Homo-oligomer: A and B are copies of this chain.
Amino acid sequence: MADRPPPLSSRRGFIKSGLIGAATLASGLAARAAGGEEVITEIQDWNRYPGDGVDARPYGKPSQFEAHVVRRNVPWLTSDTISSVNFTPLHELDGIITPNGLCFERHHAGIAEIDPAAYRLMINGLVERPLVFTLADLKRFPRENRVYFLECAANSGMEWRGAQLNGCQFTHGMVHCVMYTGVRLRHLLDEAGLKSEGKWLLAEGADASAMTRSIPMEKALDDCMVAFAMNGEALRPEQGYPVRLVVPGWEGNMWVKWLRRLEVGDQPWQHREETSKYTDLLANGKARRFTWLMDVKSVITSPSPQAPITHGKGPLVLTGLAWSGNGIIKRVDVSVDGGRNWKTARLDGPSLPMALHRFYHEFDWDGSELFLQSRAIDEKGFVQPTKEALRAARGPNSIYHNNGIQTWHVNKDGVIENVEIS
């Protein structure tokens, strides 16, 4: 900074001509006091001195002022150092695309770093021709691009036992939404030649946890993809670089990362992740299993516990996300009184099947206590249930597939907490 050039005084007169006084906005937004407006009527350092630009910034980074916008974990949720989940900061984001650096990630044996030159995908089992593909081979098949949400079946899982985690990053942050580029699985299975008795597919990961899940062949041949890019660039390491499975609308655990093998069989494999895990014990002693589809769900991302109201009364933008494994979202309702009265929120942005949808509800906050809720309805008519209704149906032992309505309590100071009301 010591070597900066002298001020560019030629711009002074121009700026002074724009001098303004305090103004009252027609919308009722708080007026800016004239005395506080020196930052616009006086030349600032960024107007005066050239910024850094000599380095080409080959791969860009967020502003230094956005250092708080990061994935976060909950230390007590995962028991050891190689199994962890890092949550998307939903309260800081807008739109429906999640930037790659902030997509939540769940790993079971650390993050595999796979040399793409040594990457192979095997297809074996009930096929005419067992095959092995390199990454270059996969890129010679017809590609497609699709925007999909990916939600962990355990998203909101802690909330089965009541309001526990104070922020949508933690209650709902195991979801993200990107544009995937890849090859339809059916092209690869056609290449291998499916045998008629092949009704199930085993997907196996190349990391040290060797994640394995059984997928019904009907889904595999419908819309599943073998993806190698997200939001235009190569998959990130924690998202399965160089290749992951994409299972649109179904639970994230099935979207096997670091995909190394697809085996065709005549029945499910009953692996750990579909017997011990990703199942819910019902009150009658039976377990809900193979609960693949992610049900209709929504959450208000701002205001929320990590994004309190700091501007006082007046115009307020309430926003949130809605999604459904059944397709597109038809409507989102919002309540500010804990579900007694509902208003239809405004959906904005492209409405794409099995993608996140962004909703807004603008209103004047009078400074009184609020109980904020959102309720999504999907194209098949499914309505997001209350937590009470979910608990009544599934008993006291569930972990997965909690798509219940979330409540945020706003106090008169704009401070917000995760609560349950009945």
A344 on the B face (CB < 8 A): no
Q: Does A113 contact B (CB under 8 A)?
A: yes
> Max chain B CB contacts within 10 Å: which of A18, A27, A83, A124?
A18
Q: Would B131 and A95 count as touching, CB distance under 8 A?
A: no
Interface residues of A in 94-148 (CB under 8 A from B): 94-103, 105, 107, 109-116, 118-122, 124, 129-134, 136-137, 139-147
Provided the pairs A56-B72, A71-B57, A231-B95 are in contact, do residues A110 and B29 lie with their beta carbons within 8 angstroms?
no
Say whether B95 contacts A207, CB under 8 Å. no
Q: Give CA–CA (A192, B229) in the complex, Å.
A: 44
Is A238 in the interface zone, CB < 8 Å from B?
Answer: yes
CB-defined A-B contacts under 8 Å, sample of 26 = A20-B130, A25-B131, A26-B190, A26-B193, A27-B141, A37-B132, A46-B113, A46-B258, A51-B107, A51-B109, A53-B107, A53-B109, A57-B71, A58-B70, A59-B102, A62-B236, A63-B113, A65-B115, A69-B233, A93-B233, A97-B97, A98-B231, A99-B100, A136-B310, A142-B362, A143-B348
- Given A51-B208, A143-B319, A348-B144, CB of A84 within 8 Å of CB of B56: yes
A-to-B contact residues, CB < 8 Å? 8, 11, 18, 20-21, 23-27, 29-30, 32, 37, 39-40, 44, 46-54, 56-66, 69-73, 81-84, 86, 92-103, 105, 107, 109-116, 118-122, 124, 129-134, 136-137, 139-147, 178-181, 190-191, 193, 206-208, 210, 229, 231-238, 241-242, 258, 260-261, 263, 310-311, 314-317, 319, 346, 348-350, 352, 358, 360, 362
Contact between A145 and B348 (Cβ–Cβ < 8 Å)?
Answer: yes
Given A54-B81, A109-B51, A113-B63: A179 touches B97 (CB 8 Å cut-off): yes
Chain B residue at minimal CB-CB distance from A358: B145
Contacting residue for A20 out of B58, B132, B207, CB 8 A: B132
B-chain residues with CB within 8 Å of residue A208 when the two chains form the complex: 8, 46-51
Q: Which residues does chain B contribute within 8 Å of A51, judged by CB atoms? A: 82, 107, 109-113, 207-208
A348 nearest CB across to chain B (Å)? 5
User: A130, B95: Cβ atoms under 8 Å?
Assistant: no
CB of A58 within 8 A of CB of B46, answer no
A40/B229 contact (C-beta < 8 A), A50-B109, A86-B56, A210-B11 known:
no
